[in-house]
DNA sequence: GCGACAG
DNA sequence: ATCTTGTCGC
């Protein structure tokens, strides 16, 4: 594990948080939407990016990428560990996504810079954060998540947290998540997760060589 | 100081 | 996240 500097990381997050656009800033509805996720194979992080058409939610493209991960998982600093493999996989998609759904929190973060927001600002692409558990904030009876008097996200169903990533309003983010939700986990991130597991299995079986995804 | 803590 | 098989049920 390489060294990780929390002080620098915190400073970076505040800077990026201030660049987040909290209103809709993209062609709505989008033509397509991408889902991203990361699986682990030893010292490698396997980034997965799946692109679907927003209309029928059909898979248009799916790409994977491996990269060595030397940063440990530390709550509130997930982006520094998972974004490298995710960005590498995204760059392999044949089409640039209109919007990206990330398997993590966005604004629902102590410094308002969860991995979803971090990714959106760095790539300047609209993003939405979808997590399966809470990181911060308190929930009101109606599913609204609040932190320091600020609405930072919404809780759907049982354990599906939605927050904006970048260039989108919370209202629109919730609408998009709801529209792409067939099962508990919305399709973009669900497919990215399944794809990552599928590739991971092929690697373990030897069908795919690690070098081919580096 | 104590408890919480995305994946 | 990961270690791991089958099994019960719609």
Structure tokens at A168: 């989108």
Q: Strand, helix or coil at A100?
A: strand
Lookup: nucleotide whose C1' is closest to A106 CA: B6
Residue A148: the pLDDT is: 97
A200 touches strand C (CB under 7 A): yes
Residue A58: the pLDDT is: 98
Protein contacts on strand C: list nucleotides below 7 Å from a Cβ: 1-2
Q: How confident is the model at residue A1 (pLDDT cuts 50, 70, 90)?
A: confident
As a whole number of Å, the end-to-end CA separation of chain A is 19
A40 touches strand C (CB under 7 A): yes
Mean pLDDT of A65-71: 97
Averaged pLDDT score across all residues of chain A = 97
How many Å apart are CA A93 and CA A110, to the nearest integer? 32
Answer whether A63's CB lies under 8 Å from A92's CB.
Answer: yes
For the stretch A178-211, pLDDT in tens is 999 999 999 999 999 999 999 999 999 999 999 9
| DSSP secondary structure letters along A57-87 | --EEEEEEEEEE--S---TT-HHHHHHHHHH
Q: Which domains does chain A have, with CATH numbers?
A: 6-213 (3.30.2170.10)
Looking up tokens 């002080």 gives: A7
For the stretch A18-38, pLDDT in tens is 999 999 999 999 999 999 999
Protein contacts on strand B: list nucleotides below 7 Å from a Cβ: 5-7
């Amino acid at each position: 594990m390489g060294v990780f500097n929390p002080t620098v990381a915190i400073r970076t997050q505040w800077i990026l948080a201030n660049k987040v656009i909290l209103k809709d800033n993209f062609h709505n509805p989008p033509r397509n939407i991408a889902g991203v996720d990361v699986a682990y194979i030893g010292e490698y992080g396997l980034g997965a990016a799946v692109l679907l058409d927003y209309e029928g939610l059909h898979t248009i493209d799916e790409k994977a990428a491996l990269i060595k991960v030397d940063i440990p998982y530390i709550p509130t600093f997930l982006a520094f560990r998972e974004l490298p493999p995710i960005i590498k996989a995204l760059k392999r998609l044949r089409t640039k996504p209109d919007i990206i759904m990330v398997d993590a929190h966005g604004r629902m973060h102590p410094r308002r810079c969860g991995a979803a927001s971090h990714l959106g600002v760095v790539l300047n692409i609209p993003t939405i954060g979808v997590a399966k558990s809470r990181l911060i904030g308190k929930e009101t009876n109606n599913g609204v998540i609040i932190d320091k008097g600020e609405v930072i996200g919404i809780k759907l169903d049982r354990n599906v947290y939605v927050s904006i990533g970048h260039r989108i309003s919370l209202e629109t983010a919730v609408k998009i998540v709801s529209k792409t939700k067939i099962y508990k986990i919305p399709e973009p991130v669900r497919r990215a997760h399944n794809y990552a597991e599928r590739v991971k299995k092929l690697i373990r079986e030897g069908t795919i060589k690690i070098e081919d995804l580096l």
